[in-house]
Amino acid sequence: MAKLSLMFESKLVKEVPIGNRPVSIGRSPDNDIPIDNLAISNYHARVYYEGSRLVVEDLDSLNGTFVNDLRVERATLHDGDSIWIGKHHIKVDATADAAIPWDTGRKAAAPKINETMVLDTKARRDMLSQAAAMGERSQFSPGRLKMPTLVVLSGKVNQKEYVLTNKLTVIGKSPMATVRLRGWFKPPMAAQINQRDDGYYLGTGDNVPTINGTPITGPTRLNDGDLIEVCGVRLNFIFRE
């Protein structure tokens, strides 16, 4: 009977003989070879005898199972092969077995590591529940559901306040602007407020706006309560419940 040796870099972590039962490999602790690493699926792969052949089978893992350097769905193992799973590799010692002929071509899995692939719905669900378990900071938590709002303190514009619902908000005279400036000689696009993953950023347009009295030098993140001044209009940026 053959045996498997789990290695991390060049260190031997664990040795497992292969009997009549399949040997399971994965992140879940109930595997025969548990590997505690996020890159490894809960039930990642298994190794078992099929007649006299030793076979490795990938269990639809996210990051794949590699024999030597080929990604496989299923492959016959030979003495001296290495199964690669994440940064771990498992050496196959089958010296006790009769040599297995190399006639069966290994069946390569479709996506190679560098090629784009799409998660199926199950893998996606797993990923999202895993994310939930890890604790979200995130925009999805109720604490972040406050509406960013511009309250007009002074100056000629078309509304008293504006709730920022779009990714891009423009302050200017243009009819396309969200905050429409009134009066002569106002620029079509005086300044802009853009939503990014980590908050709202004030940027320049035809004018350089100030935040709390200081002119900005580039896109600047807005904090709750900031005072924005541009073209004679004063706006208070707040997050409203």
Partner 1 sequence: MQIASDGLTDVGRVRSNNEDSFRILESLHLFVISDGMGGEAHGEIASSMAVETIVDYCSEAKDDSGITLAGAPGDHWAEKTKRLQSAVYLANSKIYQSAQKNPEQRGMGATLTAAWFDNGRLSIAHVGDSRAYLLRGGTVQQLTNDHSLVAEQVRRGIITPQEAEASEMQSVLLRALGAHSQVEVDVDEVAIFSRDVLLLCSDGLTRMVTEPEIAGSLQAETDPASATRKLIELANERGGIDNVTVIVAHFQEEPRGWLSWLRRGSANKE
- Which residues of this protein are in contact with partner 1, per CB under 8 A? 39, 62-63, 110-111, 113-121, 124, 127, 131, 134, 136-140, 166-168, 170, 172, 174-178, 188-189, 192, 194, 196-197, 201, 203-206, 218-219
DSSP-assigned beta bridge partners for residue 226? 237
Closer to partner 1 by Cβ: residue 65 or 192 = 192
| Residue pointed to by tokens 């199964």 | 83
Buried b (16+ CB within 10 A) or exposed e, 199-213: ebbbbbbebebbbee
Phi, psi (deg, nearest 5) at residue 36: -85, 85
CA distances from 18 to 29, 38, 199 (A): 18, 26, 54
Closer to partner 1 by Cβ: residue 127 or 227 = 127
Least distance between partner 1 and beta carbon 160 (Å): 21
Least distance between partner 1 and beta carbon 128 (Å): 8
* CA angle (193, 198, 202) in 5-degree steps: 20
Closer to partner 1 by Cβ: residue 144 or 146 = 144
Residue type, 48: Y
* CA angle (148, 151, 157) in 5-degree steps: 120
Closer to partner 1 by Cβ: residue 11 or 122 = 122
Least distance between partner 1 and beta carbon 70 (Å): 14
| Residue pointed to by tokens 């109720």 | 142
Closer to partner 1 by Cβ: residue 33 or 109 = 109
Closer to partner 1 by Cβ: residue 159 or 166 = 166
Please say whether the dihedral angle defined by the alpha carbons of residues 200, 206, 208 and 210, taken in this order, is positive or negative.
negative
Least distance between partner 1 and beta carbon 35 (Å): 16
Listing DSSP states for 141-177 in one string gives SGGG-PEEEEEEEES-BS-SEEE--SSEEEEESSTT-
Least distance between partner 1 and beta carbon 230 (Å): 12
Closer to partner 1 by Cβ: residue 119 or 151 = 119
Least distance between partner 1 and beta carbon 97 (Å): 33
Least distance between partner 1 and beta carbon 176 (Å): 4
